[in-house]
């Protein structure tokens, strides 16, 4: 059983200093310089004729055994116009195990009440760190790739 809440969504278009090095710079930023538990490139398209790169990257950071922050990052790099279109969607996902006896109606009822009255307030406090992480990511991307 998963509970997914969208915490933040940001979109930004930047003028690039060096379009060729933008994608490797962003990948390095996500994988090494900003602390995520896991970063995966889900889709990558490089259209050489049009000079565009489209990519979808997923970055995950765990808060506890049940909840995690998941950022869906969509990139479009246009080399001819030297633009980066960046969209980030931050989600808070809480996963409850549903194997064995935990796949019963009673367990779903228990988890729904537990989530509503106890764990829900804990989850509400994690929306702000997700917003802060997205703002940090946007700022760092802007500092590293934007043309001066």
* pLDDT digit string, tens, across residues 46-74: 888 888 999 999 999 999 888 899 999 99
Given pLDDT bands bounded at 50, 70 and 90, which one contains residue 115?
confident
Residues 4-13 have pLDDT tens digits of 889 999 999 9
pLDDT, averaged across the chain: 87
Domain range 2-145, CATH architecture: 2-Layer Sandwich (3.30)
SS (H, E, C) the chain: CEEEEEEEEEEEEEEECCHHHHHHHHHHHHHHHCCCCEEEEEEEEEECCCCEEEEEEEEEEECCCCEEEEEEEEEEEECCCCEEEEEEEEEEEEECCCCHHHHCHHHHHHHHHHHHHHHHHHHHHCHHHHHHHHHHHHHHHHHHHECC
Q: Model's pTM, two decimal places?
A: 0.84
Residues 24-44 have pLDDT tens digits of 999 999 988 888 999 999 999
């Amino acid at each position: 059983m998963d509970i997914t809440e969208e915490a933040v969504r940001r979109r930004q278009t930047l003028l690039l200093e060096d379009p060729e090095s933008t994608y490797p710079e962003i990948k390095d930023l996500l994988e090494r310089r900003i602390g995520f538990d896991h970063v995966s490139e889900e889709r990558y398209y490089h259209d050489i004729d049009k000079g565009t790169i489209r990519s979808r990257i997923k970055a995950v950071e765990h808060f506890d055994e049940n909840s995690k922050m998941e950022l869906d990052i969509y990139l479009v790099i246009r080399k001819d116009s030297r633009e980066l279109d960046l969209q980030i969607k931050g989600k808070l996902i809480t996963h409850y195990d549903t194997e064995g006896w935990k796949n019963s109606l009673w367990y779903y009822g228990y988890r729904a009440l537990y989530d509503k009255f106890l764990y829900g307030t804990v989850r509400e406090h994690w929306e702000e760190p997700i917003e802060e992480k997205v703002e940090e990511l946007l700022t760092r991307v802007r500092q590293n790739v934007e043309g001066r």
